[in-house]
Amino acid sequence: MKTGQIINYEGTRHEIVQVSNAEVTTRMVGKKSSALNIWSKTRLTFMLRAQQVILERRQFWKQGLHLTPQTKSAGSR
């Protein structure tokens, strides 16, 4: 994570304003007087990864991959 980087979280864009050892400070993009948000690095990383997993699963279901027939293994008869 770098200063100036834009991250998307829950449909809003946040610009990283400051990065320290344990915290990341962001502000919402497009707002004139946006309050600063302070995140722990661990929590922000976890939230962004969880969001990515949710998007991947939605795509999986949208494509109908869960409907493709699975080959049965020989031992499951």
Q: Is residue 69 part of a domain?
A: no
Task: Flag whether 56 is in a domain.
Answer: yes
The answer to whether the beta carbons of residues 24 and 36 sit under 8 Å apart is no
Residue 8 has pLDDT above 70, yes or no: yes
Q: Residue 73 domain-assigned?
A: no
Torsion, Cα of 39, 41, 45, 47 (10° steps): -30
Domain assignment present for residue 60? The answer is yes
Tokens matching residue 31: 């707002």
For residue 38, give its domain range.
6-64
pLDDT tens, residue by residue, 21-60:
999 999 988 877 778 889 999 999 999 899 999 988 888 8
Contact 24, 18 (CB under 8 A): yes
- Would 76 be classed as within a structural domain? no
Domains held by the chain: number: 1
